Structure 1
Amino acid sequence: MNDILSNNSQDLNDFLSEYMNKWKIPGMAVGIIKDDEIIYCNGLGLRDVNKNLNVTKDTLFAIGSASKSFTSLSIGILVDEGKLDLDTPIKKYMPSFEMQNKYAEEHLTLRDMLCHRSGLPRHDILWYTNPSLSRKELVDKIKYLEFSKDFRETWQYNNLMYATAGYLVELVTGMTWEEFVKLRILEPLGMNSTNFSVEALKEYSDYSKPYAQKGEEINQIDFRKLDSVAPAGSMNSSLTDMLKWLSLHLNKGKVNGKQIISERTISELHSPQLPCELIPLKFDELQFSSYALGWFVEAYRGRKHVNHGGNIDGFCSYTSFLPDENIGVVILTNLNNPVCAMPIAYHIYDKLLGYDHSDFCEKLEDEAAKMMKAMEAATKPTINSKKDNSTPSHSLEEYTGIYENPAYGSLQIEVKDNSLKLIYNNIDYTLNHKCYDIFTMTIMEYYLVDVTFNYDSTGNIKSVSIPFEETVKEILFIKCK
């Protein structure tokens, strides 16, 4: 192997600085483990642009969906103890659990949940804009959600299944998921700064602010509270702590001579379960992509590569390792870009493996730029009909009222400043008229969707339909007052 740090870390520092400038990343922390030794550990850039505060190896970042691997490890520990089984229907442990698809309800296992093959699509709006839901309330709403695929038909990434797995940990142990992870994983590893909420993050003296790019500008944005869906993506951690987490996996479940999860079970967590394609990228370096249990597994240049990214408002993380080569990389950033960390890991692996002329970074940068432009374009209205901008068929006051859906809760329509406003989970959305009883609004910053009002045989508005989950029928909210 070539050692990219054979003389000093300056070459890597120069690459990372250039990369940060190109991708407009305010701050970053990068660490590398090779043969059980930390060979690089550094913070670069700023954790707070306004106050000019530097990133350190101890700066806390939100790690987003990389939290899922902590949930799968928790399940694995309980499997070792005989308290759970990966292939037993979860109805055995949670008799009250219900789904719309009754066959799936009776047969769904933890393996199905942890490898995303339940048949249920994301339904992310359910939790994304409603931080006040309890975990139990969130799980109870699953019974109202429409499936987009048959049970075990295909891979569909699903945060709700991980929230349910975390709730199951609570039912089996009597501890919340947070308490269990802290006691059984964080404390044995000495991950003393890692926590589970925005509130806990802000109590720490060294934490990063979240940033997002819009056009050419980078702006600070709000933190996203994820308490109800925490087992899917709420954790905050530092480079120092995440290198300890990475070492646990490279050492097959052992820390300080103690096996906190059996080698057999952690191997199962790292083993492919079904093919998947999170990001539709086709490169010669990647031979296949699959999902294991809380981890993606691919063949990178013929080598097994276990990894998971984490993307939540203002942050992008990447935890990755080549188990057979005993190399791993952790990358934490404070930019809201879903693929900005991934190319760094591939660059580091190429250098360590002796591939000096890889253009993988440039190819992935091009694809990421296309993705970001497509997301921005989604907010721009398109003219689909000659009827666009026709007069609404009802007065604005007739659209107002409270509308309810058993899963998605209630929303309110009101008139303000001579236009319609939709209020959902304490967020105000402006409704722009498109044609007749159809309006548009932008959700989750990027997505422009149609809001369609429906009326009964007497012409009175009775409901509103919104495509909060694009893979199923529009979500129907019934007017109740």
Structure 2
Amino acid sequence: MPKVFSRRQFLNHSRKAFVSLSAFSLVSLYRNRSVFCADKIIAHLEAQVPALMEAELIPGLGLAIIQNGELFWTRGFGVRNRYTKKPVGDNTIFAAASLNKPLFAYAVLKLVEQGKLDLDAPLSKYTAKPYISDARIQLINIRKVLSHTSGFPNWSGNNPLSIKFPPGTKFSYSGEGYLYLQKVVQDITQQPIDEYLRQQILAPLEMNSSSLVWRTAYQSIASDGHDRKGKPIPMSQPKRGSAAGSLRTTATDYAKFLIAMMGSGKVDSPILTQDSLEEMLRSQIKINQFLDWGLGWGLERLEGNKFFWHWGDLGTFKSFTIASRELKTGIVIFTNSQNGLKICPKIVSQAIGGKHPAFNFSMIDY
């Protein structure tokens, strides 16, 4: 008589099967030109990701995988809203949260290339009056903001903004630093940050579904967020752009940005030059044995390979991306759940291989 699994037993069995194939990543299969095996891995992802999602009460997920510097595979899983059951598709809009930060850093480095900003000049040089009264504001520059060594807290809330430690002396993740730099960029370009990024980065990279402010068109294609118990919570609709986290986008669109990170251009093109990309991915501050921070990106060393990565957390939307410029591979994962990051390590391991130290970063809330 065939063995009958309970729902819980089936989900546990599926998770074990998913992990068992982690050694056979698409990276290794692509190198061996094993199209048949790659198709099997994709089929396995299509079968097992829904089981992982169901086990963690994650209603919807958007996934994009890059191989050889090209979009290899993209897929929407689950639903945009637990109750309406409208499916996640390739055009489903997610809140990217802090995945906005590397995109903004990229745009800032383009201004540096053009000679409009200096990485190491005090940001106060570009403002009509000091951002705050603390004299140490003179020590804060672009490099310190993008590497999270500015001395600012993550968020000041209702308290007056203050510098918590001497700028440049240690790592402390800060959204406030990005808002300071956003003000400088807006003053230099004489444009709101959402319009500047649209013209200089999003449109040239054909990230046509992406915006730092809400679009009316999103109403019919945006996902809702969900709390830990699966209760739907509508996505916020930003009216003003924030360099720290207002990006609304799709997994496919964000993959186009990762692909740009793997190439190089000229000063007068939308793509950063080789020198700028190398500076962006150069360690600015060491975090631990495996992790550093560059300009906008977290940096990871794994088995002789270098990866750049970031996570996003808007409460009921969680996201993760990691890629390698040298290996020309990467992955984007967007979820519409407060539980979303719980399954990202398994998906990343399956798609690009390895157990990544980035998932041990202290600020990631599973």
Secondary structure, counterpart of 1:339 in structure 2: helix
Structure 1 residues 18 and 68, CA gap change in structure 2 (3 angstroms) = same
In 2, the alpha carbon distance for the partners of 1:258 and 1:87 equals: 23
Structure 1 residues 304 and 332, CA gap change in structure 2 (3 angstroms) = same
Give structure 1 regions of 4+ aligned residues with deviation exceeding 6 angstroms. Answer: none
- 2:308 maps to 306
Q: Which one-letter code corresponds to 1:27 in the other structure?
A: G
- 2:280 maps to 269
In 1, the alpha carbon distance for the partners of 2:352 and 2:41 equals: 17
1:334-386 C-alpha deviation (Å, 9 max, x unpaired): 01247336412233221xxxx6xx6x79xx79x999x66xxxxxxxxxxxxxx
Q: Which runs of 5+ in 2 are unaligned?
A: 1-27, 31-36
- 1:42 maps to 75
1:214-257 C-alpha deviation (Å, 9 max, x unpaired): xxx21112434656671100000012211211111112358xx9
Structure 1 residue 152 corresponds to structure 2 residue 171? no
- Pairwise CA distance, 1:42: 0.5
Secondary structure, counterpart of 2:200 in structure 1: helix
Secondary structure, counterpart of 1:30 in structure 2: strand
1:235-287 C-alpha deviation (Å, 9 max, x unpaired): 00012211211111112358xx955322211221122110237xxxxxxxxx5
Structure 1 residue 109 corresponds to structure 2 residue 124? no
In 2, the alpha carbon distance for the partners of 1:32 and 1:316 equals: 17
In 2, the alpha carbon distance for the partners of 1:91 and 1:43 equals: 44
- What are the equivalent positions in structure 2 for 1:75-154 lying under 5 Å apart? 75-102=108-135, 104-126=136-158, 144-154=160-170
Of residues 74, 98, 104, the one that matches 1:71 is 104
In 2, the alpha carbon distance for the partners of 1:97 and 1:341 equals: 44
In 2, the alpha carbon distance for the partners of 1:161 and 1:308 equals: 17
Of residues 44, 48, 59, the one that matches 1:15 is 48
In 1, the alpha carbon distance for the partners of 2:232 and 2:187 equals: 38
Do the aligned partners of 2:291 and 2:299 also contact (CA within 8 Å) in 1? yes
Name which structure has the greater RCO, CA cutoff 8 Å, separation 6+.
2
Secondary structure, counterpart of 2:50 in structure 1: helix
- 2:251 maps to 239
- Pairwise CA distance, 1:97: 2.4
Of residues 341, 345, 349, the one that matches 1:346 is 349
Structure 1 residues 341 and 176, CA gap change in structure 2 (3 angstroms) = farther
Do the aligned partners of 1:46 and 1:52 also contact (CA within 8 Å) in 2? yes
1:308-330 C-alpha deviation (Å, 9 max, x unpaired): 11110311111220111110111
Do the aligned partners of 1:224 and 1:312 also contact (CA within 8 Å) in 2? no
Structure 1 residues 157 and 8, CA gap change in structure 2 (3 angstroms) = closer
Structure 1 residues 187 and 202, CA gap change in structure 2 (3 angstroms) = closer
- What are the equivalent positions in structure 2 for 1:365-404 lying under 5 Å apart? none
In 1, the alpha carbon distance for the partners of 2:241 and 2:269 equals: 30
Do the aligned partners of 2:62 and 2:333 also contact (CA within 8 Å) in 1? yes
Structure 1 residues 202 and 210, CA gap change in structure 2 (3 angstroms) = farther
The total of aligned residue pairs comes to 329
Structure 1 residues 204 and 189, CA gap change in structure 2 (3 angstroms) = farther
Q: Which one-letter code corresponds to 2:153 in the other structure?
A: P
Structure 1 residues 338 and 208, CA gap change in structure 2 (3 angstroms) = closer
Do the aligned partners of 1:316 and 1:333 also contact (CA within 8 Å) in 2? yes
More helix by share: 2
TM-score, normalised to structure 1, is 0.63
- What are the equivalent positions in structure 2 for 1:119-268 lying under 5 Å apart? 119-126=151-158, 144-197=160-213, 199-200=214-215, 203-213=218-228, 217-224=229-236, 230-252=242-264, 260-268=271-279
TM-align CA RMSD: 2.7
In 2, the alpha carbon distance for the partners of 1:122 and 1:239 equals: 26
Do the aligned partners of 1:60 and 1:201 also contact (CA within 8 Å) in 2? no
Structure of greater Rg: 1
- 2:85 maps to 52
Do the aligned partners of 2:149 and 2:168 also contact (CA within 8 Å) in 1? yes
